[in-house]
Structure 1
């Protein structure tokens, strides 16, 4: 399902910490004070404005209408039986959103993340997760200018974006690919055929962030041909994590991104329209994994020599990870109108190239020495879609869309894994790392989908609408291979599926301002192959957690959309229930397994112990949730809005990979690596454990909410003063239910903005503070870091055995640091 929205503005858990409780109280006090001030300030402004305030209020009653094409024709978003969260270009600018992942601060329940090595990304919503390493289609699809897009390409620096829209619930009978949880569409600005225009924005902050972006559009032939060029350059200190070691490479982290986009629009006749776009993105990054003392999260764990807390933003690694990421995107579109119908062809081609090097000595076992995993991933992806739909309603009753979709992807990946071989003797006797054994890994990734789809909406009088859609999917992926050194193993499993999915809805307008609806839908995702278990010898159980069956799901939803007070107050609420069969539950925390490494010097396979999260399982999942939205234009100068989401997804008695050394079928809570003998005794020829569980299906916090407030007042006829606030709140998160140390307590992040601007929007000077209260919270806590290697065994020292070192530190993620900065924007002409 696609959407392009337009806003019509006619008016112009860690260890208990007593400090956290105090911080929460301070946040509440600040918010209460801000609310009182925000409510009082408009009242004061109204008194100053005098009688003109009533006229402005009357005009304001006509604002905030949002027009969407969620069903392929323009409708008020309040009339559409779909939950939609829209982020306009105005909001992007006002809240100084620079990286696309910041959109999640405005959309409760949405989580966006790019992998630390720059390869792959994920988006999750409505209680189920997606991991790029699962090699399956995402639960949330991305679209850029109406074409299916690679999420890693989208989750970059934002510039010259007209609209971002998040649709919740099953998608796929109106366009693109099937997705069970929703879709995210991004629409860039188009050329103006009649007026020259453009914009420029620059930002700088106290934590080393610089951002420049701008665009200019020119009509080449008035009313017929126009072009628009846009570009961005950004440099930040990345995750701002620095190493405690001078070591081999103690340089500071950074992320540098540059990109450009050229768009052309050609309308040779009223009935014919062509669009074309080329976009180039180039990103380089150097960063360290963030660590914290594990004893902060588990009081029984050994204390580290140097206590590291989340707020310290430190790493024990000597060498950072690096990546260089390049994307080229071609996007094209043609529209032809005839006999009140419109024929649309939408195509896109993406070429990606990513090279990443990751430090594999996670526990810093070898002082002054590191070993690495080097990854080279290439992507070639092409989509074609043809749609036919009506321009005018058929028989004054029906709207329809029918179409054909084709998608192909070729994405081979090359890896080099380094394994140290160690002589277990004191350094004086030649002990230490003797040599490094490299292992080359090659994976293939070819997929192809052909599908046809259709949707019909019946308008029965003024109060009733019925809608139904179908999609037939033929998905093919040939059997792949996994080449590890000279050993060839089965890679991706062959998939050849033919599936039907559907959507249906019924809506009833109690009044023109109050609508209730019920909807249902199904979805499908092909069975994935989990990439990451590179042991050349694997058990049947390990393969069952690597090659998974295809997923199906069904969703049911009830909702109410309403507006009051002449459209100044909007209240929407939705409840939903969704079930998944063969949901690919991907581990978030690693489990210990028996692994094998080919040692060229001995010509044999050496057994060892490895820890990996690169396993998944087909499990049944049930999701229940509620989503709500309130928007209120309190006065012509004061806006207040809140959106909230509560989702609970649960695995129902699913068999999943686990640590189960005692064999009781219950996941163990291990804080250090077991020995090879312990793993062999517990698992035998299975090489790993499995347990039946009923637990959360996602580590995402069930409850989240965002609150926005904005206030503006004229200083003169040429300058307005404004202030804005954005509070993002995340509730408690359980983390991995098998672990006792990784639960995350609730926290809130407060961003504030203030400045002056031109009343007509030509320029704005904005001072901002992100994470104003300097909230520091670990948002992901892993088990203690482990470094695995091979040891030469006495007395001959010609054979090896697996060994490992467990750190007293754990790899974590944390909330972003506090940031103060300034942003200046200027726009002219058509902008």
Structure 2
């Protein structure tokens, strides 16, 4: 399938938890993966996998996990707001704010980890694997689109080794990282220490109203111990600390506007894509402090090996972001402050048979529990019209939300593989889960009231204070007992060609919106559970004495109740009672906008292919492409439909179609804003010059133009090219290269809001004249030096 996306990945394999078969003499060395929880050569795994070794990440200056998308077609890892990392694979999208388990799960050293921590810092990495298709039968959690596994380097019990790497660019970015491994008791006990300091300007956006550029500073350190008290026992202990401070301005695009009546004050100047400007008057800052402790053990019992992995993660994400993102209300700041603790304990125990001739098996148990109280403070002022805020014609309202988090999962899994003949192998895996979540949103609303303004026919409004639960008691608790798993059949056509068939089932529990507006219908508060069934066929082949590989696959996946998040949906929560609490039926007035979770049936189908290898000793290359159609299947979904035609739009006066709290539109549209086709390619050409080796390498990604009906926007094609020219020393001990990223200096919008950023009022809305966007970063030049010992 789509695999081997990093060309050097097929040339520099690294041993994993168990000994993998090695290529015969004269063949190129292939990479070893642990996608099936056993160490196998990539070409032997009946699964679509993209791989990037640590060496490849360092060579391509990939310092952020989001940049791994440059090595895998149909994978998109984004962070448009500085706080909510999102992952899309095979057109299947995920927003962490929707409260479900991820569509693409993330694992650090085989432990599930949150995206906000995993994506922040990449250093001293052994390998990253992108596993495509439903996952979970062999890992702790189920995910419908795939999984990304990150494995850090372990201490070397016998030798001192390490590296240091430093990078600087013309955009004031820097990255210094390194690691060193030292045997404390040779052959028995070793220590590895690694660290990172990274700074950059994130999305390169300058806030013209605050005279402030986006910027980021990350510091992280990792300490690992490896202990082998006897030959049959290996114990690893890792502690990682991370601190990240991001000030990421929200980019705007459009002519701007003077939103308030009778007031010439502009939201900001006209903004083109290449201007990279923001206009919010308030702060946007996101700080992440994270501690991660991981214990791993394997004990060879002879017929089988016992594996244990456990972890404790405690992270706190503090977020302060001006909700008036496009300055739609000039001289008004609405900072939302959120404190999100991420306290998770995880443990997994597995017993795995050692390689047998006919039958191999595994059994295991998994447990995870997440707790912590999320707190949110913000304003929800009610404006009586789009007046200058100096007039004070609005009802000040403060909203404080407490979200107690409780998520608990335990599951039991078993798998068997049967080698019926030298050519035919069948694998069966199943997992029974027990998932429980309690989702509440205690919302406190208070206001000092309003004295009234007879000239504008605004009556006095008394002060009020109330506390309510956004999630009704009957919707707060969710318990599910999913049975997931899969079957794969592998047939070796010849020593250089293997075909496979795979079936997988995934499941995600329904989720409640813990800070949804009050007095809305249940379907907008809580989703149903999601199920999907996927079928896949693939062919993996090698040519020219295994110097070239060609892999191709086709798949089909059917979703029953696919869960997604719909952003910026206008809502009407009805008239307020005398206590200021919405209590009546929808009254035709838009009271605000919110991001709602919702279900819709969907299908995903596609083809993926990769050709990669080393045709001659001094040239490596890899080209991977995918064509995927991920579409809703006659789903009725939340939308903004101002003109009432049943299709998403934000043209004209804001309005809600129909008698409910929001508008709904029938949809057969894309599940995400990705085009059907995507391609990645990379190559390195080396030259001989005595003990020195000059080289040139390139990394290219392409995605064609695509029209998004949700955003009503035609995204232009992207052709992103990175080039590297350098020199390395004997045995690749040192290297220096100069590079240019986005050589073509393409400035493309990568995400955009449906319409202009608005602030609803009792009359005409404040209109900023801007749409909120994210864009590709401009061209960047830099230099990297590295030394290995």
Which residue is 1:583 aligned to?
562
Q: Partners of 1:770 and 1:597 in 2: how far apart?
A: 53
316, 338, 343: which one aligns with 1:375? 338
Q: Does 1:654 align with 2:635?
A: yes
Which residue is 2:251 aligned to?
290
Shift in Å, 1:360: 1.6
Q: Partners of 2:411 and 2:24 in 1: how far apart?
A: 47
1:371-520 equivalent positions in 2, closer than 5 A: 371-393=334-356, 396-420=357-381, 431-432=391-392, 436-485=396-445, 486-491=466-471, 493-520=476-503
Which residue is 2:612 aligned to?
631
Pick closer, same or farther for the CA change 1:658–1:604 going to 2, 3 Å: closer
Which residue is 2:705 aligned to?
732
Shift in Å, 1:173: 1.7
594, 597, 606: which one aligns with 2:572? 594
Q: Is the 8 A contact 2:267 2:327 kept in 1?
A: no
Q: Partners of 1:587 and 1:618 in 2: how far apart?
A: 10
Q: Is the 8 A contact 1:117 1:357 kept in 2?
A: no
Pick closer, same or farther for the CA change 1:228–1:426 going to 2, 3 Å: closer
Give the stretch that moved more between structures: 157-166 or 355-364.
Answer: 355-364
Pick closer, same or farther for the CA change 1:655–1:190 going to 2, 3 Å: same
Which residue is 1:199 aligned to?
163
1:108-127 equivalent positions in 2, closer than 5 A: 108-114=73-79, 116-118=81-83, 120-127=84-91
User: Which runs of 5 or more structure 1 residues have no equivalent in the other structure?
Assistant: 13-57, 297-302, 791-800
Give the stretch that moved more between structures: 153-162 or 602-611.
Answer: 602-611
Q: Is the 8 A contact 1:788 1:803 kept in 2?
A: no
171, 176, 187: which one aligns with 2:135? 171
1:696-715 equivalent positions in 2, closer than 5 A: 696-715=670-689
Q: Partners of 2:162 and 2:537 in 1: how far apart?
A: 43
Which residue is 1:161 aligned to?
125
Which residue is 1:723 aligned to?
696
45, 56, 60: which one aligns with 1:95? 60
Q: Is the 8 A contact 1:288 1:319 kept in 2?
A: no
Pick closer, same or farther for the CA change 1:819–1:451 going to 2, 3 Å: same
548, 564, 570: which one aligns with 2:543? 564
Which residue is 2:45 aligned to?
80
Q: Is the partner of 1:101 in helix, strand or coil?
A: helix
Q: CA RMSD in A?
A: 2.8
Q: Partners of 2:276 and 2:67 in 1: how far apart?
A: 20
Q: Does 1:261 align with 2:235?
A: no
Which residue is 2:320 aligned to?
357
Q: Is the 8 A contact 1:371 1:420 kept in 2?
A: no
String of CA shifts for 1:717-756, please: whole Å, max 9, x gaps.
Answer: 2x11010011111122332x2443x121211100000110
Q: Is the 8 A contact 1:423 1:431 kept in 2?
A: no
669, 672, 677: which one aligns with 2:649? 669
Which residue is 1:621 aligned to?
602
Pick closer, same or farther for the CA change 1:775–1:363 going to 2, 3 Å: closer
String of CA shifts for 1:519-551, please: whole Å, max 9, x gaps.
Answer: 111111111123553x23x222xx302301111
Q: Is the 8 A contact 2:252 2:773 kept in 1?
A: yes
499, 519, 523: which one aligns with 1:544? 523
Q: Does 1:523 align with 2:503?
A: no
String of CA shifts for 1:653-701, please: whole Å, max 9, x gaps.
Answer: 111112345555x124223552xxx54xx544x2212222222122122
Which residue is 2:240 aligned to?
279
* Structure with the higher fraction of residues in helix conformation: 1
Q: Partners of 1:71 and 1:425 in 2: how far apart?
A: 59
Q: Is the 8 A contact 2:65 2:122 kept in 1?
A: yes
Pick closer, same or farther for the CA change 1:612–1:67 going to 2, 3 Å: same
Shift in Å, 1:474: 0.8
Q: Partners of 2:663 and 2:387 in 1: how far apart?
A: 35
Which residue is 1:751 aligned to?
722
Q: Is the 8 A contact 1:175 1:403 kept in 2?
A: no
Q: Partners of 1:667 and 1:613 in 2: how far apart?
A: 19
678, 684, 690: which one aligns with 2:664? 690
Pick closer, same or farther for the CA change 1:399–1:788 going to 2, 3 Å: same
Q: Is the 8 A contact 1:786 1:807 kept in 2?
A: yes
Q: Partners of 1:7 and 1:709 in 2: how far apart?
A: 11
Q: Partners of 2:192 and 2:148 in 1: how far apart?
A: 24
Pick closer, same or farther for the CA change 1:596–1:489 going to 2, 3 Å: farther
* Count of aligned positions: 742
Shift in Å, 1:785: 3.6
Shift in Å, 1:114: 3.1
Shift in Å, 1:306: 4.1
Which residue is 1:55 aligned to?
none
Q: Does 1:347 align with 2:310?
A: yes
Q: Partners of 1:468 and 1:65 in 2: how far apart?
A: 26
Q: Is the partner of 1:386 in helix, strand or coil?
A: strand
Q: Is the partner of 2:202 in helix, strand or coil?
A: coil
Which residue is 2:737 aligned to?
766
Which residue is 1:134 aligned to?
98
Which residue is 1:31 aligned to?
none
Shift in Å, 1:61: 5.1
Q: Partners of 1:9 and 1:363 in 2: how far apart?
A: 49
Shift in Å, 1:478: 2.7
Pick closer, same or farther for the CA change 1:511–1:94 going to 2, 3 Å: same
Shift in Å, 1:759: 3.0
Q: Is the partner of 1:70 in helix, strand or coil?
A: coil
Pick closer, same or farther for the CA change 1:292–1:115 going to 2, 3 Å: closer
777, 782, 800: which one aligns with 2:748? 777
Pick closer, same or farther for the CA change 1:646–1:61 going to 2, 3 Å: farther
Give the stretch that moved more between structures: 196-205 or 610-619.
Answer: 610-619
TM-score, length-normalised on structure 2?
0.89
Give the stretch that moved more between structures: 477-486 or 457-466.
Answer: 477-486
Q: Is the partner of 2:67 in helix, strand or coil?
A: helix
Q: Partners of 1:530 and 1:806 in 2: how far apart?
A: 28
148, 166, 169: which one aligns with 2:112? 148
String of CA shifts for 1:545-591, please: whole Å, max 9, x gaps.
Answer: 23011111100001000000001110000000000101113224x22
Q: Is the 8 A contact 1:619 1:652 kept in 2?
A: yes
Q: Partners of 1:808 and 1:186 in 2: how far apart?
A: 42
Shift in Å, 1:84: 1.0
Q: Does 1:318 align with 2:281?
A: yes
Q: Is the 8 A contact 1:10 1:62 kept in 2?
A: no
Shift in Å, 1:788: 2.8
Q: Is the 8 A contact 2:403 2:439 kept in 1?
A: no
Q: Is the partner of 2:769 in helix, strand or coil?
A: strand
Q: Is the 8 A contact 1:786 1:804 kept in 2?
A: no
